[in-house]
Amino acid sequence: MNQKFDLAGRLPLIAIIRGVTPDEVLNVASILIEEGFSLIEVPLNSPDALTSIKKLVDTYGQDNLIGAGTVTTVEQAEQVITTGANLVVTPNCNTEVIKMAVAAGCATFPGIVTPTEAFAALAAGATGIKLFPVSMLGLDGYKALNSVLPKGTLCYPVGGIEPTIESMRDYVKIGAAGFGLGSALYKPGLSDEQIRKNAKDYVSSYHACLDENAK
């Protein structure tokens, strides 16, 4: 496998910038990167998403993990890989998509809810798993799932995670490796100042949870 990514030392928060346009994507990404983010996904149901991803790859792809979310078919995965992306995130567990992304050297996080999906994703080579929507699992469901997953499995809760310690704390305690962050981080129409504030709040809250967990 030609691995094109390195997760070591990165802030494990995936910025999901759904709805971003090619005209604004570089500005939004620059704010996020300045605040410490280095994993950025443009969901494919955003306007002209492949153009946005290509612009991000060309500008920030050297030092960051850039790619697509909401990748549901092999055809979509192929289009994303063609941009030079090194991050593929899906809302479901399609093992053919996972295998294609992994073979292309992309960090790959498929969406799962059940143990069956989780083990299928890992068997296909997934980098980690996206617990989506995490509201379906809840804390008890994630705790039960985590008890049977291979040690060291990277789990990223996604869906409804707010930029607060209270929203992240219990997942970090159980063992969450990071989070995927959507509309509470970015949504169309937010000012640069609000995007920056949201990013700062997420980063500070996550680090505070790590500090608490280390005590």
- Give the catalytic positions in this structure: 41, 130
* Integer Cα distance of 192 and 27 in angstroms: 8
Write out the E strands in the chain: 13-16, 39-43, 65-69, 87-89, 107-109, 111-112, 129-131, 155-157, 179-181
* Integer Cα distance of 1 and 47 in angstroms: 32
Q: Give φ, ψ of 158 to 5 degrees.
A: -140, 135
Question: Buried b vs exposed e over 106-115: b needs ≥16 C-beta within 10 Å?
Answer: bbbbbbbbee
Contact 176, 141 (CB under 8 A): no
Sequence-separated contacts (24+) of 187-194 with Cβ below 8 Å = 187/18, 187/19, 188/19, 188/20, 188/21, 192/27, 192/31
Residue showing tokens 């593929």: 88
Residue showing tokens 């709040």: 201
Local structure of residue 68 (DSSP, 8 states): E
